[in-house]
């Protein structure tokens, strides 16, 4: 009947990280959006290391969900179950969805970046980096690894490769490595990678959509395989590419576009497709002015890549993406 307004669809987004926050913001005026996140704020995770060296920087890297989502509903809780129609949270909430987005995003090369931040901002402190692998930053190639090692050692960071630290054996600031070495330190930071946090999905309707590594299998439209109204974006997906924040944002834009199209009755052939970034750019900050970057055909270290990332760590651009909050 003419004059009637179509009822808005319910879109539930699980995870308020770099990808989930962008999907929620993009759809809040087109659908009834619910963002489920354990925190009340979006944290620019790759900026947290600078925040450890500079407290004022921390204020810029944390944004309240309520600031950039005035038309969405924020559910501060963890999701614990998903059925064909609803998402359940630890607080006992039951949220119906027409479209669901599972958006969990992990971290990055934390140890290297933290060591560099400490060495640059506190040159009188002795910094040591212990890494289990045979070289640093295995994911960006041998040339970039060598350049990263040279940059750290030139800033007097001691790097121990091929070993790990047994924290359970530490006593009064004395630590032992797997190679039998003894390290004396006033404090330590654990910078090992976290799991992708998908184990809870094994008890949901998505249990058969997980690969052997626990990642959600998605198609070219970023829909979870076997579910036409559920999307997976960010680190939790099985997309064969580096797990980078800017790529997760690309996922978010595609997913938001496709959900908007589907709410308007678009056919599958009209949906946007995501092409994996198999030769993605990767930049690792090495303090305030330097960085190492891997481009598709070469790598470079020093002030030039540092000009791209290290000064602001993309915080300004990320804030703009959420509406200059």
Please provide the DSSP assignment of 148-169 as one string.
HHHHHHHTTEEEEES--EEEEE
Domain 10-107+194-275 and domain 110-192+279-315 have a common topology: yes
How far apart CA 218 and CA 199 sit, in angstroms, is 17
Q: What's residue 48's pLDDT?
A: 80
Spans of all domains in the chain: 10-107+194-275, 110-192+279-315
Superfamily of domain 110-192+279-315: FAD/NAD(P)-binding domain (3.50.50.60)
Low-confidence ranges of the chain (pLDDT < 50): 1, 325
Distance CA 293, CA 298 (A): 9
306 and 313 Cβ atoms separated by less than 8 Å? no
pLDDT confidence of residue 325: 44
What does pTM read for this prediction?
0.87
| Residue in the block written with tokens 């099985």 | 238
* Topology of the domain comprising 10-107+194-275: FAD/NAD(P)-binding domain (3.50.50)
Q: What are the CA-CA distances from residue 99 to residues 9, 26, 96, 192, 259 (Å)? A: 8, 14, 9, 34, 7
Predicted local distance difference test score (pLDDT) of residue 135: 93
- Cα separation, 299 vs 145, in Å, equals 9
pLDDT at residue number 86: 98
How far is the C-alpha of 47 from the C-alpha of 318, rounded, in Å?
Answer: 11
286 touches 276 (CB < 8 A) = no
pLDDT in tens, 280-301: 788 999 999 999 998 888 899 9
Helices (H), 179-292: 245-263
Q: How far apart are CA 257 and CA 242, in angstroms?
A: 22
CA distance 25 to 323: 9
């Amino acid at each position: 009947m003419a004059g009637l307004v179509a009822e808005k669809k319910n879109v539930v987004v699980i995870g308020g990280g770099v990808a989930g926050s962008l999907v929620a913001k993009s759809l809040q005026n087109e659908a009834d959006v619910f963002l489920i996140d354990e925190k009340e704020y979006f944290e620019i995770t790759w900026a947290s290391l600078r925040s450890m060296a500079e407290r004022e920087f921390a204020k810029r890297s944390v944004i309240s969900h309520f600031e950039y989502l005035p038309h969405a509903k924020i559910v501060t809780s963890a999701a614990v179950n998903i059925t064909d129609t609803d998402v359940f949270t630890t607080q006992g909430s039951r949220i119906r969805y027409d479209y669901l987005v599972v958006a969990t995003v992990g971290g990055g090369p934390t140890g290297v970046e933290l060591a560099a931040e400490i060495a640059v901002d506190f040159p009188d402190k002795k910094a040591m980096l212990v890494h289990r692998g045979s070289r640093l930053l295995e994911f960006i190639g041998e040339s970039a690894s060598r350049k990263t090692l040279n940059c750290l050692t030139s800033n007097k960071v001691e790097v121990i490769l091929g070993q790990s630290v047994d924290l359970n054996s530490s006593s009064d600031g004395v630590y032992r490595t797997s190679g039998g070495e003894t390290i004396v330190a006033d404090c330590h930071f654990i910078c090992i990678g976290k799991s992708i946090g998908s184990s809870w999905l094994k008890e949901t309707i998505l249990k058969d959509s997980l690969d052997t590594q626990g990642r959600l299998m998605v198609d070219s439209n970023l829909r979870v395989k076997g579910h036409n109204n559920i999307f997976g974006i960010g680190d939790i997906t099985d997309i064969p590419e580096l797990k980078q924040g800017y790529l997760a944002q690309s996922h978010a834009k595609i997913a938001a576009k496709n959900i908007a199209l589907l709410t308007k009755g678009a056919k599958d052939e009209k949906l946007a497709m995501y092409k994996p970034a198999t030769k993605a750019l990767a930049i690792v900050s090495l303090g305030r002015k330097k960085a190492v970057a891997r481009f598709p055909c070469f790598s470079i270290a020093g002030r030039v890549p540092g000009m791209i990332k290290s000064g602001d760590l993309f915080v300004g651009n990320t804030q703009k993406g959420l509406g200059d909050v």
